[in-house]
Amino acid sequence: TADIGKAAMTGGMFFNPISTLWSLGAGIAAPIYNGGALHAQRRAALDQYKAVSDQYRGTVLNAFREVADALRALQGADTSYQHRLAAQTAAGAALRLAEARYRDGATDYATVLDAEIAYQQDTVAAISARSQRYLDSVALFVALGDGWQPEAGDARPASDAQPHSAIHQSPGAPA
């Protein structure tokens, strides 16, 4: 071994039992002498493991919190969108009723204009809520690991798509 090679100063001493014994004695004493250093190294390694483990646990818990927050926000945005859509539908019905009453001479045109304004405001609110729902969907994808990419075949269903002209419909037309 290397200890034997270091102990033998000349080739003749290489096979000398005293040289071998001295080398073996130094090899046995070294671990006892380094025992405090080895214990300190072990403790440092365990402390480092605990710190890394705690950091990992914190990262995982933070990731779960971010996903839960994003899901909660998405659920709230979806509820808001549904309410805004219902309000838009109701405003459209009120507008159609106001127009019919105006045609029958039962009301003045100011009532029709008020209904038109309410319908347009509810339409803008529904579009805003829908935009927020999309933003919250993106936030969820980011919280899940920023790895979502739509596949080439993924497209929005035609029933979900609204043309840009939906905002500029004729008065009283449902959205």
pTM of the model: 0.56
In a domain, 132, yes or no: yes
Q: What are phi and psi of 169, to 5 degrees?
A: -75, 165
Whether residue 137 is found in the same domain as residue 76: yes
DSSP 162: -
DSSP 170: P
Residue range 108-125, pLDDT digits in tens? 999 999 999 999 999 999
Whether residue 70 is found in the same domain as residue 136: yes
Whether residue 142 is found in the same domain as residue 72: yes
> 13 is written with which tokens?
């001493």
**Considering Cα of 95, then 100, then 101, then 103, what sign does the dihedral take?**
positive
Residue range 61-103, pLDDT digits in tens? 999 999 999 999 999 999 999 999 999 999 999 999 999 999 9
HSE at residue 134, side-chain half, CA atoms within 13 A, is: 8
Q: Which domain range does residue 9 map to? A: 2-33
Q: How many domains does the chain have?
A: 2
